Amino acid sequence: MAQGCENWWRDGIFYQIYPRSFQDSDGDGVGDLAGIHRRLPYVKSLGVNAIWLSPIFASPMADFGYDISDYTGIDPLFGTMEDFDALLAAAHDNGLKLILDLVPNHTSDRHPWFVESRSSRDNPKRDWYIWRDPGADGSEPNNWLSEFGGSAWAYDETTGQYYYHAFLAQQPDLNWRNPEVRAAIYDVMRFWLEKGVDGFRVDVIWHLIKDAEFRDNPPNPHYVEGRPPNEKILTQYSTDQPEVHDVIAEMRHLTNAYDARVLIGEIYLPLHRLMAYYGNDLTGAQMPFNFALLSTFWSARSIEKIVEDYEKALPKGAWPNWVLGNHDRPRVASRVGPEQARVAAMLLLTLRGTPTLYYGDEIGMHQVAIAPDDVRDPFEKNVPGIGVGRDGCRTPMQWDSSPAGGFSGTRPWLPLPEDHIHENVANFEADARSILNLYRRLIALRKACPPLVSGDYVPISAQGDLLLYRRQFEGKAVIVALNLGPEPIAVTTSAIRFGSEILISTFLDREGERLEGVLDLRGNEGVLVVPPH
Ligand code: NOJ
Ligand code: MG
């Protein structure tokens, strides 16, 4: 790789696998490690460099693995430690890095630490969690709300105090102001790093430290009716406290003791707050996830602004990254529509910074409608009917047109959409111009083209639905022209010189075309252009 192995995560492309939904190998309708292992050749064929696995650890599955009861054990649903070791070895043999999900903010309420903590007020682990006395009238200690609906405080009869849970009541928050908690989680990190995992995606990293005084959060003056109820108050005191950066610096210090590992932070914050997660002198996360594209209005001007603001805000030396989808947000193909999904792919793979792909986006999987009886997501169950459910973006990978899509031999834990009989890997492999092959071509081009990996991002002025930029590196340049709308656009800019050549179109039908001054873009088309030699 161009920049040597320490920097593999800069040059690389990440692929997120939601383990429950990638491949079932034992016929229980839920994906597992052996299934992922079996599908490694496919992952490799995409050309990505690293896999991030959502949690695979022992868990009662109240939040599908984000409620952990043993940080160093594999949940039997996913397999055994032998399965994990085999997967890790096979990934490495195939030149793929493997990133695990670290969930340090909260455990399961069945974790032995919490069982002890709740057993009595003077248990040595009492302070490992966040316990507070009720208000004078027995009410909650403050007005903090759970992200999944209702108060963030659960009353415990046995000891007469409330404990804090930013998510489900089955996910009590650890007290990161307690040094023993830090040491315990750092041991967990060392356990996996010693095994050879290549880093962590750290769950809700901006939540780790809460206000020392537990002050009430202020109301949100911009709350929009119909949005989730927790948005009625801001999270000023419950998240993003300055001391969190000391914790992250400790985590980074720990991973730095190992070769070439990466820390990715899950952070939903406005731009200027997000940037702080690179840490003082870049001693924080190498990749604080940039989720700006997950919620943007899909227009050329909005995206241009997002990229410009992000590029400007980056601290000196900080490496950018981009995300189009994950297991918490609606599928990109549904947010932008199937035509624009191809343009989105070109955008993701040509912006400056490390791209993270969400499994299934490369075959244009859309949000799947979930019947009320099929709802599994606790968020949807707690806050029903307003569209917060995450099941629709977590459905089984569509491998082929068989009833369970090649995912499982039995009824999968979540349904596949009917159109999976057309929209699947097997069909798209056979179709030279499918979105799957577009992803593969874009990834291959990116890897072979230093301007796309390491080049500067230079915006080129454009109007309407046209998004135009140049990636430039050591005298070489690639021009990216994206039509974010359905109407054709004639692009006339001095940036596209006579005799320039089309490297690729999102329709995969114009490779090698020479341009004579004007670039005619069809509706919903993106192209990469190289200047004449
Ligand atoms: C963020 C994860 O991505 C989400 O899936 C989970 O429900 C919450 N953290 C709680 O762990
Ligand atoms: Mg299984």
CA distance 110 to 515: 64
The per-residue pLDDT for 56 is 99
Q: Quick check: is 266 catalytic?
A: yes
Cα distances from 354 to residues 7, 14, 297, 364, 460, in angstroms, run: 11, 8, 22, 20, 22
Measured from CB, residues less than 6 Å from any atom of ligand 1 are 63, 66, 103, 167, 203-204, 266, 327-328
> Do the beta carbons of residue 398 and residue 435 sit within 8 Å?
no
Q: Quick check: is 203 catalytic?
A: yes
The per-residue pLDDT for 517 is 83
Cα(36) to centroid of ligand 2, in Å? 10
pLDDT tens for each residue of 153-194: 999 999 999 999 999 999 999 999 999 999 999 999 999 999
Residue closest via CA to ligand 1's atom 11 equals 66
CA distance 106 to 168: 10
The per-residue pLDDT for 2 is 37
Beta-bridge mates of residue 106: 173
103 CA: nearest ligand 1 atom: 11
pLDDT tens for each residue of 421-472: 999 999 999 999 999 999 999 999 999 999 999 999 999 999 999 999 999 9
CA distance 285 to 321: 12
> Do the beta carbons of residue 106 and residue 163 sit within 8 Å?
no
Domains in the chain, CATH or no CATH each: 8-108+176-442 (3.20.20.80), 112-164 (3.90.400.10), 455-530 (2.60.40.1180)
The per-residue pLDDT for 311 is 98
Cα(398) to centroid of ligand 2, in Å? 16
Strands of 476-483's sheet in order across:
456-459, 466-473, 476-483, 526-530, 501-505
Global pTM? 0.98
- For residue 520, the surrounding DSSP H or E stretch is strand 519-521
Q: Residue 47 in 3-state DSSP? A: coil
pLDDT tens for each residue of 297-320: 999 999 999 999 999 999 999 999
CA distance 503 to 510: 8
Q: What are the mean pLDDT values of the chain's consecutive 10-residue runs (533 residues total)?
A: 71 98 98 98 98 98 98 98 98 98 99 98 98 96 97 98 98 98 99 98 98 98 94 98 98 97 98 98 98 97 98 98 98 98 98 98 98 97 95 98 98 98 98 98 97 98 98 96 98 91 98 94 98 87
213-219: long-range contacts, CB 8 A cutoff, minimum separation 24: 213/237, 214/132, 214/141, 214/142, 214/144, 215/142, 216/142, 216/143, 216/144, 217/142, 217/143, 217/144, 217/145
Mutate to test the pocket of ligand 1, among 67, 204, 266 (most ligand atoms within 8 A of CB): 204
